Structure 1
């Protein structure tokens, strides 16, 4: 049972919600049939074409029980579409469309009756004992994920998120180019389990023979949109079927296996959600209630982005969702017969319930929140996500005393509307300026700050950045997602770190990359690693900075036997430190040394609170210059707890003799990380 009335009704009937239509004279129709597969191709054989029936007391709800189909349906797997009159601005006549609430779709069976209209895949369902049940495309019954131990999952302030796209690369057959393909859920599983063979990338040793992400130690996996996208070999932001896992990535069963494996390693599962625009079938079923063309309705406030005065929303080839519209209709969430309903709100909150219940989501990343254009909806979606999280562990849809540090709703918007976090619309936000400051610091440059020292200070403590959103600041590290690189590689200094350093004449990429990760993994904020950066992956396609898709992940590079493998080991060591060390989950930061004699390019700071002889704080000393410190020692004055025993340097995994505490030299572009803290059992 779901906390969504419409999803529960789908067990009894084929269901279509059309808020703008309840007249039997214009009834949508069910097209249902069997599929035969031969020689790798599928053939659809129609059984029936029948009109749906309007619910007498539920305005806008259309139903047809499987018992009404003639000839009678036997138990088995069926493919179906709904036939509707196109309501989009193009008005292309009668169309066959996918069920917008379908749990599985099959692109191997796509309607091509209208050559001028992009075909929509068939929806898939199983009939058993007179009931309709979700199933995979191959007919398998997806299991439900096990509910993990909440106590075992990492808290927000000790997360290290791994952002993983669908597009991967491997060395081509000619050993010169590369083959680019989709990394499936089974391939991702192989990154966590050494005994999982993988799928499309099973021939890549780093995928097939080891567990890269288990070895790296990240404790949160963020998949770029896992819901079905109409595009193939792309990033997945053209969401078309919000309730179904992406057809190219695998089945619901595959995804549940992945989630269970991730949870068994005390790792949280995040997914991206795209709600600014869609490529969904409501664009034809009931366009006026669900979608808007901003260029056609310039007097409508719904056409404009939030936090960006006068900027129209962008559908990026799809249709912008309409969020200000309210209709008197059946409410798919509560089941009320006639109520004031926001159609788009109800639709998106409904697929949220599906993903939270059936795929064990532990966190969400909402794409392009300004382009959604409605903070009230975003707040409603976030609050519903928290209700569902509480219900998973507390047994109710209200606050149930569950741990508030084990769930997170993150927004992405490069204009940085931090006020969305401070007003409770979101829990956290991508910290876009962090990337710019880091890349400037790696070259010894100032990034739109007063001086170099300010650039580094705001890198290390994001709460110091008061230049954005009218002076609004992050109040806590768990509100900011810091990253060296992300999938958004368009624009100045956004490319992969390797390419950025190479294009700026840096010859020792390994050393500069280690400095980047030392900063990422010791700074205030939640660190996020874009897949492949842990071994300095590089562009495999031509560097076109107007597109995201130029940069697939090439795991073949990880085991090069040289500096890339050394970088991976360095990052893995710091990831384990970040996820465990108490001080790095705190906000407190004290910059106690800036070497003015070297232009402020050598700095030292303390992370976390110091507490006398039981001190667990972390000290970072960094050299942002081409010059090695002179002599055999570099004395850092005011070193906190210099006379206390037990200091060690984390990045090199070595103890520091008492006489050398706060006195060790630095090579160019190096950070040393010190602590007296030791993990229990270490």
Structure 2
């Protein structure tokens, strides 16, 4: 693709940066009429020490709007091999216009906040870009040692779970320790090494290696999840939060660890048959293009109300896009006859589309990403862009997985859009959506309440089978809907962590309701997602304002409490392993065959799937246990075939005479199957 590297990446500009320092500036004559300069040097022994070696102008290359500099022409000559820090000196094009400034390379694979151009505004900090010069070429490398950045190995497709057997674990990077002073909960930042320790008993972790739950076990391996969704792992200028302020899209967040650390994590989970999903924020950013070419890449919606790009999708121009302190990406923008950084051709280009598709190529090529979660697609605004991003992701997946032989069930692009436009899935804009109404129904039924204008029976029916829910159209496949009890978004009523929700509702036996919630999550049609910590009912210690994002980190020390939380974890782990393996739970069938009107319709039974006899769920959504020693469920499917087992109580064998006759405790679900693993 126009590069002498032999095409390490499926993007021309990423290959060109092996041979030269490159900077793509659409409308260069107006955005950067004076040549950008490379400012390059080495770091010193102390933080923010920088020893400048050279300041050299870039030249326009053979492609329009592409600036370039051969590292071999820099005077004085660069040490070969050597590790260098650098910035581009540009004319600031942002609305504030501060003259010239140093900015991070927008394509930097590694950045170093220990060597930073510190501006007065925290969000304007420009960390140094890092590169290794060796054999006359430029190589991505880690900091601080300058070791080469590796690529994740790709497992066989057969070793990874299909979409309809996923259990996703949504993991933030901020975790907690209990401080020594007054028992306060202190906030710390987890690292890729700490995440690795959740999967590998031989890995001690980093910041949390003194927590027994981390150092003495492998929580997520024990839990049995088979998909890890990392909240944004790309670089952000903010620490102690969850990564939703992306600054440098091509670099891992150095607070979390290096590219090598992430590759080690990916290789480990792939060996365990676990897929990696990454969370991507493309509605707004804190990126260098906000200064290099503002009008081509960014906008302020409140100042361009006549621009369709200023409005959130699906709101009929009633809600402006929100930059949350960053700059909204401009998507309705075309540059004519410019360099296309993906193909290398000269053509009409959407600048923001190109940049986001480029970092997608970097993450899928180097880190073996097996799925994507696109944050706040309504705030991105452009369905055309979202579709192009999804389609490019699939092209990259198929290219690395054998082309026409690539398994379509081993990759998924999920969007978060809480207004639930299922038409985005029907029209192929996305593969799946977060199923926000599912959370509301779940939280209602475990309190014995109906939701969303349905009676109680239909609240449960739509909970058990999302394809029954007629939203903006219907889901037609369980892999199109991601169901969850809790997520990192807690704004609004009934969105807090499950423990806090139940306590706020006056529930005294949290364990019982939590088990019911997980029984429903892990047997319903849809892709179940567990928010980190919910598997042992973690609680909120710091968040008090429910109108804001959750600030509480995960407190893994609660997992091994020796009491009901540890018991709950074991229950959830058992159900997770059932969900990931049982064929019937990967099917979309659901048949309700019992609603006990004599008990107000609060005891129900239904069958999931058909493989190996299916799975039968019997649930009591009331304060009263069934009287006596038996409770008869009529019309039990395949009762006469026997060999039934009850899953949630340790795969207990059910005698033939007791099939469909077992009693139920209050707020209890029992899960039956004839399937044998």
TM-score of the two chains, using structure 2 as the length reference: 0.97
Alpha-carbon distance between aligned partners in 1 of 2:235 and 2:636, rounded to the nearest angstrom: 54
Per-residue CA deviations over 1:9-50 (Å, capped at 9, x if unaligned) read 101111100012148851111111100124xx3411111111
Per-residue CA deviations over 1:578-597 (Å, capped at 9, x if unaligned) read 00000000000000000001
Aligned partner of 1:253 in structure 2 is 260
User: In 2, are the aligned partners of 1:582 and 1:616 still within 8 Å (CA)?
Assistant: no
1:587-598 superposed matches below 5 A = 587-598=588-599
Aligned partner of 1:657 in structure 2 is 655
Of 40, 60, 66 in structure 1, the residue corresponding to residue 65 of structure 2 is: 60
Q: Secondary structure at the match of 1:552?
A: coil
Alignment CA distance shift 1:121-1:549 (3 Å)? farther
Aligned length: 664
Aligned partner of 1:548 in structure 2 is 549
- Structure 1: stretches of 5+ with no match in the other structure: none
User: In 1, are the aligned partners of 2:123 and 2:237 still within 8 Å (CA)?
Assistant: no
User: In 2, are the aligned partners of 1:234 and 1:549 still within 8 Å (CA)?
Assistant: no
Alpha-carbon distance between aligned partners in 2 of 1:116 and 1:503, rounded to the nearest angstrom: 37
Alpha-carbon distance between aligned partners in 1 of 2:129 and 2:520, rounded to the nearest angstrom: 47
Per-residue CA deviations over 1:194-238 (Å, capped at 9, x if unaligned) read 110100111111111100000000000000011111111111010
The Cα of 1:551 is off from its aligned counterpart by 1.9
User: In 2, are the aligned partners of 1:195 and 1:209 still within 8 Å (CA)?
Assistant: no
Aligned partner of 1:48 in structure 2 is 54
Alpha-carbon distance between aligned partners in 2 of 1:616 and 1:269, rounded to the nearest angstrom: 32
Alpha-carbon distance between aligned partners in 2 of 1:623 and 1:286, rounded to the nearest angstrom: 60
1:96-495 superposed matches below 5 A = 96-112=102-118, 118-138=124-144, 139-174=146-181, 176-310=183-317, 311-328=319-336, 329-336=338-345, 338-394=346-402, 399-466=403-470, 468-469=471-472, 472-495=473-496
Q: Secondary structure at the match of 1:33?
A: strand
Alpha-carbon distance between aligned partners in 2 of 1:493 and 1:379, rounded to the nearest angstrom: 32
Per-residue CA deviations over 1:147-193 (Å, capped at 9, x if unaligned) read 10110100000000000001100111126101111110000000000
User: In 2, are the aligned partners of 1:216 and 1:571 still within 8 Å (CA)?
Assistant: yes
Q: Secondary structure at the match of 1:269?
A: strand
1:594-673 superposed matches below 5 A = 594-609=595-610, 615-653=612-650, 654-673=652-671
- Structure 2: stretches of 5+ with no match in the other structure: 1-7
Alpha-carbon distance between aligned partners in 2 of 1:631 and 1:120, rounded to the nearest angstrom: 70
Alpha-carbon distance between aligned partners in 2 of 1:524 and 1:113, rounded to the nearest angstrom: 50
Alpha-carbon distance between aligned partners in 2 of 1:296 and 1:452, rounded to the nearest angstrom: 47
Alpha-carbon distance between aligned partners in 1 of 2:185 and 2:122, rounded to the nearest angstrom: 34
TM-score of the two chains, using structure 1 as the length reference: 0.96
Alpha-carbon distance between aligned partners in 2 of 1:115 and 1:627, rounded to the nearest angstrom: 59
Aligned partner of 1:92 in structure 2 is 98
RMSD: 1.2
Alpha-carbon distance between aligned partners in 1 of 2:201 and 2:613, rounded to the nearest angstrom: 34
Alpha-carbon distance between aligned partners in 1 of 2:44 and 2:180, rounded to the nearest angstrom: 34
Per-residue CA deviations over 1:56-113 (Å, capped at 9, x if unaligned) read x311100111112111110211001111111111112211111000000001111126
Alpha-carbon distance between aligned partners in 1 of 2:288 and 2:316, rounded to the nearest angstrom: 30
The Cα of 1:543 is off from its aligned counterpart by 2.1
Alignment CA distance shift 1:391-1:521 (3 Å)? same
User: In 1, are the aligned partners of 2:341 and 2:354 still within 8 Å (CA)?
Assistant: yes
Alpha-carbon distance between aligned partners in 2 of 1:669 and 1:545, rounded to the nearest angstrom: 27
Q: Secondary structure at the match of 1:420?
A: helix
Alpha-carbon distance between aligned partners in 2 of 1:117 and 1:218, rounded to the nearest angstrom: 36
The Cα of 1:114 is off from its aligned counterpart by 6.3
User: In 2, are the aligned partners of 1:461 and 1:523 still within 8 Å (CA)?
Assistant: yes
Alpha-carbon distance between aligned partners in 2 of 1:315 and 1:278, rounded to the nearest angstrom: 8
Q: Secondary structure at the match of 1:352?
A: helix
User: In 1, are the aligned partners of 2:124 and 2:286 still within 8 Å (CA)?
Assistant: no
Q: Secondary structure at the match of 2:42?
A: strand
Alpha-carbon distance between aligned partners in 1 of 2:419 and 2:648, rounded to the nearest angstrom: 34
Q: Secondary structure at the match of 2:49?
A: strand
Q: Secondary structure at the match of 2:474?
A: coil
Alpha-carbon distance between aligned partners in 2 of 1:419 and 1:549, rounded to the nearest angstrom: 29
User: In 2, are the aligned partners of 1:105 and 1:247 still within 8 Å (CA)?
Assistant: yes
User: Which range moved further: 513-522 or 539-548?
Assistant: 539-548
Alignment CA distance shift 1:556-1:116 (3 Å)? closer
User: Which range moved further: 164-173 or 570-579?
Assistant: 164-173
Aligned partner of 2:508 in structure 1 is 507
Alpha-carbon distance between aligned partners in 2 of 1:384 and 1:189, rounded to the nearest angstrom: 29
User: In 1, are the aligned partners of 2:335 and 2:349 still within 8 Å (CA)?
Assistant: yes
Q: Secondary structure at the match of 1:400?
A: helix
Q: Secondary structure at the match of 1:591?
A: strand
User: In 2, are the aligned partners of 1:276 and 1:368 still within 8 Å (CA)?
Assistant: yes
Q: Secondary structure at the match of 1:436?
A: helix
The Cα of 1:119 is off from its aligned counterpart by 2.0
The Cα of 1:116 is off from its aligned counterpart by 8.9
